[in-house]
């Protein structure tokens, strides 16, 4: 609904849109503290749990198979009992919910924000917003309703109100900004 004149001064790779896209794509490099902790924790915990479950299955099974008189705790058990116990241990001990949910929640937050036009450079910035209770913006017409009206005209000495509003309305002819619209509405244009 307005006039737009564009002069290309840089190649596409150097444009602001390309830089914004790069920031969104590389946001995973700036991980939150909790996400870094979970990643380090899972790096050691998950293999330990898998090896423990494997040992819980293999050691009793091998003892049943190769020992002529298995220990008392193996009496009346079979290899499928130990497989069931090992799988149960693996499911209960697996930190999947913790390991997957933390990074996934940040990923979902960054993705959801980008769909709404909000750019978050990384999950560390998203985590920093967690305790925020109040946000104040000064983006008239972008984040607010943007309904304005002219209430008073104060021109320079020697400039009449009519001349002032004519000049202001002419300057705002091609603008769709809410303040420009209120100036044109006051003039009656």
Angle at which helix 79-93 crosses helix 33-66, to 10 degrees, equals: 170
Burial tier of 57 (Cβ tally within 10 Å: 0-12, 13-18, 19+): buried
- Cα–Cα nearest to 127, from 109, 115, 100, 113: 109
- Cα–Cα nearest to 95, from 56, 55, 37: 37
Catalytic residue among 80, 138, 145, 166: 138
How many Cα atoms within 13 Å fall on the side-chain side of residue 125?
Answer: 13
What's phi and psi for 128, nearest 5 deg?
-65, -25
Contact 172, 185 (CB under 8 A): no
- Cα–Cα nearest to 166, from 181, 180, 183: 183
- Cα–Cα nearest to 124, from 37, 33, 22: 33
145 is an active site residue = no
Catalytic residue positions, numbered: 138
């Amino acid at each position: 609904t307005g006039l737009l004149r564009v002069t290309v001064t840089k190649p596409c790779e150097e444009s602001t849109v390309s830089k914004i896209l790069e920031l969104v794509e590389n946001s995973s490099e700036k991980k939150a503290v909790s996400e870094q902790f979970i990643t380090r924790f899972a790096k050691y915990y998950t293999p330990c749990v898998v090896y423990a479950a494997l040992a819980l299955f293999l050691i009793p099974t091998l003892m049943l198979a190769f020992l002529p008189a298995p220990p008392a705790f193996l009496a009346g058990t079979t290899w499928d009992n130990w497989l069931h116990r090992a799988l149960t241990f693996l499911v209960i001990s697996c930190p999947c919910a913790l390991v997957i949910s933390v990074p996934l929640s940040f990923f979902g937050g960054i993705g959801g924000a980008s769909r709404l036009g909000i750019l978050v450079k990384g999950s560390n910035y998203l985590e920093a917003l967690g305790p925020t209770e109040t946000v104040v913006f000064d983006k008239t017409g972008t984040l607010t309703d943007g309904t304005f009206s002219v209430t008073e005209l104060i021109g320079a000495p020697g400039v009449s109100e009519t001349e002032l509003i004519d000049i202001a309305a002419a300057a705002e002819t091609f603008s769709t900004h809410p303040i420009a619209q209120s100036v044109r509405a006051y003039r009656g244009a």
